[in-house]
């Protein structure tokens, strides 16, 4: 489902009229007919499609803002959106279509670690820069890293190192997990356990764990299995519709009334929070790659205000990631002074720019952004935003939760 989106803003329309009157119309028209094209691949079908919808809204907001302020190198920007269907083969086919048929200058997107590990090895043959804005497996900027692949969002390593610090502070000693049965769930447990045992060698990582398949509908046996094991703490890495279904069923079974700590690595996603409303338990720790109320800076204040005005709800981390991806390409193309894909790829390496969640830098050594997650405890429901707020809340310093390049397995 290609979705071609292009906006001709009033200022440029006015400029075109004035330039024609001055006899300068030929050059302006040529530029307007040759926009900068960015291809995007997100989940646009099935139960997790709300994540793709947020990403589409973030991209549209960024594109409109850029075009209204003069474009990139004087050219309008537009994006073409394809559905990943949350399948690696479908996403690879979409990427090839965007490059060879749609002639995009650059690529971005990907919502699943499983999809990302399938797509990233194919990226070099496409010879286009690819900014990942959501998928979190460390492998894509680790052992699978390549010249063209970048990531601006928090990865599993960064998020679980922060989670381990919170877990250590709770004093809980026996931990288990419930996570999706693919790379994201298993790597979340592995990295969390390693970081937590570095902080507290007395912590026990229980063998009794639960990994339901992604898209599972009945979580009852997994919930009962964890409660019967009587842990001190539970790390939950379910996400999207799976997490919403899990929480509703867990509420009915009294899961959150048990005497153990609960940490949800992606419970702070507004897609989940808004779907649950007051069904989201109060007082549990949730993580998120971006929280709209956590960053008091000019870029974030303007982004949240514009997003609220247009869509009537706070931006999710996937909306922020997609918005930032477009802005990152603007910064890279202006740095390169060219839309040549190879020049953009080079310009992204080491690039520093202002994003809603602060100053971001793509490390030259592995192309991972140095960025930290936000964690907080769920508090009262906000009538203004329709989600529970986080209080207390902490945004972790990216420098402190990002492993050194030498530890990632990446060799560029």
Average pLDDT on 75-82 reads 98
Residues 339 and 358 in one domain: yes
- Give the sign of the dihedral formed by CA 146, CA 150, CA 156, CA 159: positive
- Helices marked H in 312-411: 317-336, 341-348, 398-401
Classify residue 64: in a domain, yes or no. yes
Percentage of the chain exceeding pLDDT 70: 92
Task: Please name the residue that has the structure tokens 């381990």.
Answer: 164
Residues 280 and 308 in one domain: no
Average pLDDT on 175-193 reads 96
Q: In what order do the strands lie in the sheet with 3-5?
A: 3-5, 77-83, 36-42, 106-109, 130-132, 149-151
* pLDDT 10s digits, 90-112: 999 999 999 999 999 999 999 99
The predicted pLDDT at position 46 comes to 85
Six-digit token string for 195: 């970081």
Lowest mean pLDDT among 44-53, 72-81, 304-313: 44-53
Residues 339 and 252 in one domain: no
CA distance 48 to 68: 31
* pLDDT 10s digits, 211-266: 999 989 999 999 999 999 999 999 999 999 999 999 999 999 999 999 999 999 99
Q: Give the count of domains, the chain.
A: 2
Domain membership of residue 329 as a residue range: 36-154+295-371
Residues 389 and 265 in one domain: yes
Six-digit token string for 293: 């109320």
Six-digit token string for 305: 């205000």
pLDDT category of residue 48 using cuts at 50, 70 and 90: confident
pLDDT at 36 > cutoff 60? yes
Six-digit token string for 196: 């937590």
Residue 194: count other Cβ atoms within 10 Å of its Cβ: 14
- Helices marked H in 25-155: 25-32, 49-68, 88-100, 113-119, 123-126
Average pLDDT on 31-56 reads 89
Classify residue 271: in a domain, yes or no. yes
CA distance 189 to 236: 9
- Region of residue 254 (left: phi > 0; alpha: psi -120 to 50; beta: else): left
* pLDDT 10s digits, 363-406: 999 999 999 999 999 999 999 999 999 999 999 999 999 999 99
Classify residue 2: in a domain, yes or no. no
Residues 227 and 326 in one domain: no
* pLDDT 10s digits, 340-368: 999 999 999 999 999 999 999 999 999 99
Question: What CATH number should be reported for the domain holding residue 75?
Answer: 3.40.50.2300
Classify residue 22: in a domain, yes or no. no
* pLDDT 10s digits, 292-343: 999 999 999 999 999 999 999 999 999 999 999 999 999 999 999 999 999 9
Percentage of the chain exceeding pLDDT 90: 90
Classify residue 13: in a domain, yes or no. no
Residues 170 and 282 in one domain: yes
pLDDT category of residue 210 using cuts at 50, 70 and 90: very high
Residues 57 and 84 in one domain: yes
Contacts of residue 32, defined as CB under 8 A and 6 or more positions apart, other chains included, come to 8, 12, 16, 75, 76
CA distance 94 to 119: 10
- Cα angle, residue 254 at apex, residues 250 and 258 outer, rounded to 5°: 110
Classify residue 43: in a domain, yes or no. yes
The predicted pLDDT at position 14 comes to 36
Residues 379 and 361 in one domain: no
**Mode of pairing for the β-strands spanning 285-288 and 374-381:** antiparallel
Classify residue 107: in a domain, yes or no. yes
- Helices marked H in 3-87: 10-21, 25-32, 49-68
pLDDT category of residue 33 using cuts at 50, 70 and 90: low
Residues 237 and 384 in one domain: yes
CA distance 193 to 186: 11
Six-digit token string for 381: 């429901």
N-term to C-term CA, the chain:
34
Residues 129 and 169 in one domain: no
Query: Mean of the per-residue pLDDT values for the chain?
Result: 92
Residues 277 and 175 in one domain: yes
Nearest C-alpha neighbor of 128 from the set 402, 341, 410: 341
The predicted pLDDT at position 21 comes to 38
Task: For residue 235, report the phi and psi dihedrals to the nearest 5 degrees.
Answer: -95, 125
The predicted pLDDT at position 8 comes to 36
Classify residue 9: in a domain, yes or no. no
288 contacts 349 by C-beta, under 8 angstroms: no
pLDDT category of residue 29 using cuts at 50, 70 and 90: very low
pLDDT category of residue 47 using cuts at 50, 70 and 90: confident
Residue 257: count other Cβ atoms within 10 Å of its Cβ: 10
The predicted pLDDT at position 28 comes to 43
Residues 335 and 262 in one domain: no
pLDDT category of residue 193 using cuts at 50, 70 and 90: very high
CB-count exposure of residue 206 (10 Å: 0-12, 13-18, 19+): middle
- Cα angle, residue 68 at apex, residues 64 and 73 outer, rounded to 5°: 100
Please tell me whether residue 278 adopts helix, strand or coil conformation. helix
């Amino acid at each position: 489902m290609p979705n071609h989106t292009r906006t001709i803003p009033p200022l440029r329309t006015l400029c075109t009229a004035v330039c024609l009157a001055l006899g300068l119309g030929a050059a302006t028209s040529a530029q307007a007919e040759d926009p900068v094209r960015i291809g995007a691949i997100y989940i646009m079908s099935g139960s997790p499609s709300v994540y793709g919808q947020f990403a589409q809204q973030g991209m549209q907001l960024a594109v409109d803002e850029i075009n209204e302020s003069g474009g990139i190198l004087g050219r309008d920007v537009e994006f073409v959106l394809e559905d990943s269907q949350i399948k690696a083969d479908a996403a690879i086919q979409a990427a090839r279509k965007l490059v060879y048929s749609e002639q995009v200058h650059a690529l971005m997107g990907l919502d699943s670690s499983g999809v990302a590990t399938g797509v990233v090895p194919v990226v070099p043959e496409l010879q286009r820069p690819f900014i990942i804005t959501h998928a979190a497996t460390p492998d894509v900027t680790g052992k699978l890293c390549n010249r063209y692949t970048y990531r601006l969002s928090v990865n599993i390593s960064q998020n679980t190192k922060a989670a381990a610090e919170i877990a250590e502070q709770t004093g809980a000693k026996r931990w288990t997990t419930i996570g999706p049965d693919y790379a994201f769930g298993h790597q979340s447990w592995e990295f969390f356990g390693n970081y937590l045992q570095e902080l507290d060698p007395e912590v026990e990582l229980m063998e009794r764990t639960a990994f339901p398949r992604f898209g599972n509908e009945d979580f009852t046996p997994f919930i009962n299995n964890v409660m019967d094991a009587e842990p001190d703490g539970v790390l939950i890495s379910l996400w999207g519709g799976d997490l919403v279904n899990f929480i509703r069923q867990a509420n009915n079974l009294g899961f959150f009334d048990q005497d153990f700590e609960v940490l949800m690595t992606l419970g702070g996603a507004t897609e989940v929070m808004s779907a649950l409303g007051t069904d989201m338990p109060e007082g549990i720790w949730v993580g998120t790659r971006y929280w709209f109320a956590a960053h008091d800076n000019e870029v974030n204040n303007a982004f949240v205000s514009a997003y609220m005005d247009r869509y009537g709800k706070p931006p999710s981390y996937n909306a922020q990631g997609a918005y930032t991806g477009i802005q990152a390409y603007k910064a890279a193309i202006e740095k390169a002074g060219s839309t040549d894909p190879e020049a953009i790829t080079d310009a992204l390496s080491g690039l520093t720019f202002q994003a809603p969640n602060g100053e971001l830098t793509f490390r030259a050594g592995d192309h991972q952004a140095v960025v930290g997650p936000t964690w907080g405890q769920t508090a009262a429901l906000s009538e203004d935003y329709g989600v529970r707020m986080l209080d207390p809340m902490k945004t972790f310093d990216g420098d402190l939760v990002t492993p050194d390049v030498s530890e990632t397995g990446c060799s560029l």
